[in-house]
Structure 1
Amino acid sequence: MSLVVIVAVLALVLPRAEGGPDPGELPALASSRGIELGVAVAVDPLRDDPAYRDLVADHYTSVTAENTMKWEHVQPERGRFDWSGPDTVVDFAVENGLDVRGHTLLWHNQQPAWLSEGSYDADGLRAIMREHMEALLGRYQGRVSSWDVINEPFVDDGPELRGNLWLDTLSEDYIAQALTMAHEVDPEAELYINEFNVEGPGPKADALYALASDLLERGVPLHGVGLQGHFVHGTVPDDLARNMARFSDLGLDVEISELDVRIPEPVTEAAVAEQGEEYRRVVEACLEVERCSGVTVWGVTDAHSWIPEWFPGHDAALPFDPSYRPKPALNGMAEALGRRRRPS
């Protein structure tokens, strides 16, 4: 074996230095394993902060708009669309050779007042859905490869469908109608249902599995499911890969779509180190599943994380700290990609 080959092998199996993977190393490893390694991005730092842009371009293969494609931002008034934020994300991705995941079309949160407070019959609401999809999917057709069409359709901790504008007006068939409509607008896009608290087996995960099975049996254009992966430190399930595999066995792609691992305060050095192992385990679980299409981290740095606001008393959930320095989580993902090969 030549010295060059020995050095290359050691680079894949030895622990990473504290400085983290070199720019371009993580994207190359992810691509060699046949998965996306994505990240959710915020518009303001993506537009204004060169260091933030460099972190994204140097360490990931795809981007998701964290908020700017949600209904309240993109269509604040009926028929008036604001493309400034989505264009920033998509243009950045195209310029840097990154894929784009669209997020999200139908959700019970972050709706503009004209939509959430309106009164609609079924035909009227379907017309609004189509107008929105034709505008949003149509604008980015060919540049956004997949969409979270349905986001969080079940109640937080149970198997029941969540009461919302769509369910209350269109019945539970709103999910099939939305997927079918999105496919009509962009036949090339991969269409997902995205949900949380379904990463390990349980009643809610079973309900998502039953929903996906029913949709496929009916010929509804569903291509994948996203298991969000908003974990508290110490709660990454041991059976994550096995739970993902049953969706893969249906013929669906499956991905960890919104990964973060929040740490209860005070955040300790030991907890941050253990978090690195948790990120490694999540990526390894994806690599164990034949149709796991990727892992997307929900935010670039702890400086721009949603966690402290939504989960007071928790912090430090992401692979870069508030000063943009890499944490063990980044090394953990690199280690997983370096060691684990996909099943043939």
Structure 2
Amino acid sequence: MSRLTRRSAIASALALSACAREVQSQPVADTPLKSIASTPVGACLQRHQLDDPAFAALLTRHYSQITAEWEMKMEYILQDDGRFRFDRPDAIADFARRHGLRLHGHALIWYSQVMPAFRALDGQGKRFADAYRNYILAVAGRYRGLAASWDVINEAVDDNGVDLRRSAWTDNLGVDEHMILAFHHAKEADPDAVLFINDYNLENNPTKRATFLRMVERLLKAGAPIGGIGTQSHLGLDFTPPGMCRIALRDLASLGLPIHVSELDISFGDKPETAPLPKLLSRQADLARELAQAYMDLPRAQRFAFTVWGVRDRDSWLRGANGERPWEHPLPLDDAGQPKPMFQALAEVLSG
């Protein structure tokens, strides 16, 4: 996995701090978030986490929608010899079905994941294009009628905020063309799923947001059946200025498409030891409240879902693959699964 590397523009290297101590939960009503919220609320998960009864109980108690953190991506499904592997995606989809949870598919095409089976077809024109279509049909089609939605294109705009990313997809199929094809193939696979284009740093980088919106408008004009915009909302106390979330969601909603806050977490930022933990938690709650209010200010038809990227703080990718950044507490529930001020803020605002 390269989650930390690919989001280096978002989460700068953080110094080990006194914030490594356990977060003390704040007293809030022990009410399921999904029973309070007037919009679907979601969280991501990995297959192995479902074997933990405490994790599964928290997930089903508080959330009405789930996203596979990485096991419905190409890196897991497509093996080097071209065969497909669906054991973990199937288990996640079955969990959603058994518990009455809405399933959001993530993600069909990502610049960062061009697997060896596709590399072997590089420069082979129709064979590459046919394999591209077949992959999308196989994956989106497998969960037809169960996945309510898909991130069809993930992270197409470069971190510089100006250019679109280059990859084997763009080199073989075209910069805009590969996205248009992906949306048409996904629509063919599942005509009823809501099809999203998803990206990060849209709140923090106005230049990137403007490029993203021009790209989406261009794709729509070319006939791509885009059904919604996903903004990952990986925010940080040191790089998300107050007011930016309101501006960003207003801009993103200007195309009239549904909005999915798709991967929310809030980093404490650089050198969190400079502030006491209660103050950091309070600032985190304020930023979550601003984003949630900006989302709730959208017309009801444009509020698709509000998803956090993990269930408990200790499940977050921000902790690092080996837990090397224990000072991060980026989610609404603490390590023990108890509500934090961020939870209270979301509950208050998402209740409508």
TM-score relative to the length of structure 1: 0.86
TM-score relative to the length of structure 2: 0.84
Name the stretch that deviates more: 273-282 or 160-169: 273-282
Deviation, structure 1 residue 118: 5.0
SS at match of 1:180: helix
Question: Which stretches of structure 1, 4 residues or more, deviate above 6 A after TM superposition?
Answer: none
Q: Deviations over 1:151-180 (max 9, x none)?
A: 000111322110111111111111111111
Name the residue aligned to 1:10: none
**The one of 307, 311, 318 aligned to 1:296:** 307
Q: CA RMSD in A?
A: 2.2
**Residue identity matched to 1:73:** Y
* 2:326 aligned with 1:323: no
Name the residue aligned to 1:137: 140
SS at match of 1:289: coil
**Residue identity matched to 1:332:** A
**Residue identity matched to 2:101:** L
Q: 2:250–2:294: 8 Å Cα contact kept in structure 1?
A: no
* 2:26 aligned with 1:18: yes
SS at match of 1:255: strand
Q: What is the rounded CA distance, in whole Å, between the counterparts of 2:265 and 2:170 in structure 1?
A: 29
Q: Deviations over 1:84-130 (max 9, x none)?
A: 21112111111111111100011122443333465243322221112
Name the stretch that deviates more: 111-120 or 190-199: 111-120
Name the residue aligned to 2:268: 263
RCO higher in structure (CA 8 A, sep ≥6): 2
**The one of 195, 201, 212 aligned to 1:197:** 201
* 2:202 aligned with 1:217: no
Q: 1:248–1:292: 8 Å Cα contact kept in structure 2?
A: no
Q: What is the rounded CA distance, in whole Å, between the counterparts of 2:267 and 2:234 in structure 1?
A: 8
**The one of 249, 252, 267 aligned to 1:247:** 252
**Residue identity matched to 1:183:** K
Cα separation, partners in 2 of 1:216 and 1:118, compared to 1, 3 Å = closer
Name the stretch that deviates more: 239-248 or 166-175: 239-248
Percent identity between the aligned chains? 32
Q: What is the rounded CA distance, in whole Å, between the counterparts of 1:91 and 1:213 in structure 2?
A: 35
Name the residue aligned to 2:13: none
Name the residue aligned to 2:75: 72
Deviation, structure 1 residue 66: 0.3
Deviation, structure 1 residue 301: 1.2
Q: 2:74–2:113: 8 Å Cα contact kept in structure 1?
A: yes
SS at match of 1:226: strand
Deviation, structure 1 residue 240: 2.2
**After superposition, where does 1:274-289 map in structure 2 within 5 Å?**
274-289=283-298
**Residue identity matched to 1:303:** R
Q: Deviations over 1:289-326 (max 9, x none)?
A: 11132211011112221113289756111122222222
Query: Number of matched residues?
Result: 318
Cα separation, partners in 2 of 1:78 and 1:188, compared to 1, 3 Å = farther
